[in-house]
A = this chain, B = another copy of it.
Amino acid sequence: MSSDVPGFELPLRLLLGFRVLIDELHAELARQGHPHARPLHGFVLQAIGAGGTTAVELGRLLGVSKQAAGKTIETLERVGYVERTVDPDDTRRKIVRLTPHGVDVLVRSARIFADLRARWAAELGEERLRALEADLRKVTPPDMFRLDMPGWFGSL
């Protein structure tokens, strides 16, 4: 005999869970002096990492075109989260690096996420939360970065 839980609830709950965490993250980030941070920024900054990247590399990592990655970088640059410098070894490349402000938003995001996780742990119990994470790890692909969200919600 099968479950009486309708199957469509699971994806919805997963999405809502994501939404709840991200919404609260950004509400808190805004309070902490990062009102310009957008849902994807922290993610992209994380992808850029301490070593820096180029537009092409970032695009490949995120699963979007180099042009799209370039535009995102432009935006992040305008807000002050990254800066671009030319690679001395290859004049074509422009290396994108996090600014201190960019590092700050990452540090704060990490702290806020940890707090949110702690809140969930308080509500569900640390064991249950660990189990939840472990279970999700088992059913999701290991590479966390490739989001591929573009056009995901498109109508046609």
Q: B117 contacts A46, CB within 8 Å?
A: no
Q: A40 contacts B155, CB within 8 Å?
A: yes
Q: B128 contacts A135, CB within 8 Å?
A: yes
Give the oligomeric copy count: 2
Q: B139 contacts A20, CB within 8 Å?
A: yes
Chain A residues touching B, majority SS: helix
**Which of A4-12, A51-59, A90-98 contacts the other chain?**
A4-12
Q: A21 contacts B13, CB within 8 Å?
A: no
Chain B nearest CB, measured from A114 CB (Å):
4
Q: A20 contacts B140, CB within 8 Å?
A: yes
| The 5 nearest A-B residue pairs measured at CB | A7-B113, A13-B136, A16-B140, A7-B114, A14-B18
